[in-house]
Amino acid sequence: MTNFKANFKSNFIFITGGVVSSLGKGIITASLASLIEELNYKVNIIKLDPYLNVDAGTMNPYEHGEVFITFDGGETDLDIGHYERFTNILFSKNNNITAGKIYMDLITKEREGVFLGKTIQVVPHLTNEIKEKILKLSDGFDFILVEVGGTVGDIEGLPFLEAIRQMAIEYKNKVKFIHITFVPFLKHTGELKTKPSQHSIKKLQESGIQPDLVIVRSDIPITQEIKNKIALFSNLLPKYVINIPNLSNVYQVPLLLLNQNISNFLFNNKRKNDLKERSKWVDLNIIIKKIERQSNVINIAIIGKYTNLKDSYKSLIEALRHSSIENKAKINIKLIDSTKHENRIIKKELQYIDGFIIAGGFGTRGIQGKINILKYLREKGIPTLGICLGLQLMVIEFFQNVLNIKEATSQEFILDKNNTLKDDDRYIYVVKLMEDQKYIKLVGGTMRLGNYKCKIIENTLAFKIYQQNEIVERHRHRYEINNEYLDLLESKGFIVSGINEELNVVEIMEYVNHPFYFGVQFHPEFNSRVFRPNKLFTFFINLLKKRKS
């Protein structure tokens, strides 16, 4: 038992996964939370990640998808982004609990003498640490959804399974388990195979956990016979086996869950009967279906270097989808690898694109490709949005090719073998390391992270977009535009239209001699939700829609 006094009002729903990773646990968890929220219950979501990183901040996107930034500066798992996009909840960095964070806190307590000479063990000390963190986030909420990362059977996930098993005993009748599994379809035989799911459920039961509901992912809808078979091996009635086949749009998931009577599983009162009829997801899906039937398509390209994995730009892709729904416009998103454009731009690959987004990133790989593409987009008058590093590269390209200062670059790109800055008179640093970053040695969690204010300059495109004097957006960067060179930029029409007054940092720049050449230092994609799209993306797609018509 833990020392923390739990709020017994809370109902806990633990979501596990089996067979393979990337089953969509985050989408399903977010969908469940949105349905609970619609009945005005207070709901919170926690993501447990078994990896030993303290947070997701130091991981390459190819390792684990994008890093999602919370309002309070947390570098978290991308599933936190799913939770925010589907709900009205503002999640904290504390909502992502990693094994690395658990071990670090536990060992710190041991070093401080908290355990008074005890031998520190996985059970009970590590499992208690996990439970305490969950319970601290449950105070004042009706429902706590806890997604357990990884797949059942992973060795690193065992302490988390043990912790939630114990919670089912300690808070009897307050805990439910949902297991998400996968039924593969063998094309050469035309069969759906349940054996992997049977093994996954058995593995979960070996951990002492009996699922109360099984959600089956599949390439095609499963039959009632398959449901019956999985129910049999799960010790469940068939009505507690739900199928979520692959869908054209993730925002269909809440309605599909409703149509399979998920309300009966979640709620024990009469209010659940009203949810299906008045759910906001019904109207949204009607709009989505109308958009999908349109023949006119707006083509948008995202220029980056992690394009082999779409999850690397998950929030950006979803933010564009949110604004496409708002504009009732059908969009097609193409990912373009900037590394292929290092020596010369491949014009064929850039054809038929209506608007471009230069995505953020770190390091030197793919930089010259982005600069080459930016030159082409600026000269051709093609709508372009630069985000974070994208803005910085807009400035560098402008110096090199408009102001003809070829030495212009960023301090980020001129590092010695020890990854420290070099003083080199051959370069002009139009993008520089921020003052408060100069003496920081640790790389994890030390950037300018989370919410910062941005003052919008009146009589600019930025003011036209936001229609307000101040906005708050999320950040993730170490480098900034060098204010010493702003006069040169503005003399040629590349002006500052948004600033952080407290730190005197450039937040927004726009090129007045262009239909739309607009760069932001922040990440607007982290503040976009399906029912509340970010204004910048909504304006961008509306502009492309008008140009296309």
Q: Are strands 143-148 and 43-49 parallel, antiparallel or unpaired?
A: parallel
Report the C-alpha gap between 421 and 440 in whole angstroms.
12
User: What is d(CA 18, CA 121) in angstroms, rounded to the nearest whole number?
Assistant: 27
Beta strands in 18-125 (DSSP E): 43-49, 68-69, 75-76, 96-98
By residue count, the chain amounts to: 549
| Beta strand 384-387 pairing with 355-358 | parallel
* Farthest-apart Cα atoms in the chain, separation: 74
Read off the tokens for 37. Answer: 């929220």
Distance CA 136, CA 115 (A): 20
Residues sharing a CB contact under 8 Å with residue 542, sequence separation 6 or more, in sequence order? 327, 329
CB 146 within 8 A of CB 25: no
For residue 64, which phi and psi values (nearest 5 degrees)? -150, 20
Half-sphere exposure of 230 (CA within 13 A, CB side): 32
CB of 234 closer than 8 Å to CB of 242: no
> What whole-number distance in Å separates Cα of residue 438 and Cα of residue 509?
25
Q: How far apart are alpha carbons 198 and 179 in whole angstroms?
A: 12
CA distance 199 to 59: 31
Give catalytic residue positions: 388, 523, 525
Residue type, 160: F
Please, are residues 267 and 39 in contact by the beta-carbon 8 Å criterion? Answer: yes
Dihedral angle of Cα 203, 207, 208, 213, to the nearest 10 degrees: -50
Residue 61 φ/ψ, nearest 5 degrees:
-55, -30
Q: Judging by beta carbons within 10 Å of its beta carbon (0-12, 13-18, 19+), is residue 120 exposed, middle or buried?
A: middle
Token pair in block for residue 501 = 């007054």
**Residue 195: both structure tokens together:** 């054996």
Which amino acid makes up residue 544? L
Strand 68-69 vs strand 75-76: parallel, antiparallel, or unpaired? Answer: antiparallel
Task: Give the tokens for residue 535.
Answer: 């204004």
> Sign (positive/negative) of CA torsion 419, 423, 427, 428?
positive
